[in-house]
A = this chain, B = another copy of it.
């Protein structure tokens, strides 16, 4: 290997991963070439080919990198109260995005649309989906355990939240409208509010009205 850091990745790994990101933002997925990525990363095309036989291999490594980055980010807010943590997650996915983030989301949708025809992409996207699902389910479970949320199935709520987030992001990419903002507010108003138990003095919802009064 051409040098390496602690986890055995090549020295230029970070630059190459940034190069893949920048090339996807600039060119999209369909027209992406190894030369585009080398140019964006500031490395030679031969260095890329030394580490990755094909563009597919490099993109699989990039998806792995995204998952690791997602794990690092997920750990940042883990000590927050669950309602605030879930609000930040939904906000980060739907409203805290700039044009570059949406350009990347556009390229990623192209890659996702290829996954049914490509087992290597599909496996990495499935790993990412499983990680995101566990992450959101953990937030919900923490909220239930802390009495901040009523007693719900954390996996089912996580999948509902993720599906709404993913669907709103696809809608933004495909037709470029304000669905992320509207769905963000609707998730807080209709799902998060329905989970929360912290209205002062209110009994948990779904216990039936007035049972203990």
Q: Which residues of B contact A167 (CB under 8 A)?
A: 162-168, 170
A187→B187 CA distance, assembly (Å): 12
What is the oligomeric copy number? 2
Least Cβ distance of A209 to chain B in Å?
Answer: 5
Which residue from B157, B159, B185 sits with its C-beta under 8 Å from A156?
B185
A67→B168 CA distance, assembly (Å): 20
Q: Kindly state whether residue A194 has any CB partner on chain B within 8 Å.
A: yes
Segment from A17-25, A42-50, A78-86, A200-208 that makes contact with B: A200-208
Number of A positions contacting B (CB below 8 A): 53
- A112 in contact with B109 given A167-B170, A175-B125 (CB within 8 Å): yes
Secondary structure class of chain A's binding surface, majority of residues: helix
Q: Which residues of B contact A155 (CB under 8 A)?
A: 182
Q: Kindly state whether residue A113 has any CB partner on chain B within 8 Å.
A: yes
Q: Kindly state whether residue A37 has any CB partner on chain B within 8 Å.
A: no
Segment from A6-14, A54-62, A69-77, A115-123 that makes contact with B: A115-123
Q: For residues 145 through 179 of chain A, which have their beta carbon under 8 Å from a beta carbon of chain B?
A: 152-153, 155-157, 159-160, 162-168, 170-171, 173-177, 179
> Could you name 10 residue pairs across A and B whose Cβ atoms are closer than 8 Å?
A109-B112, A112-B170, A116-B174, A129-B177, A156-B182, A159-B168, A160-B182, A163-B165, A167-B167, A213-B213
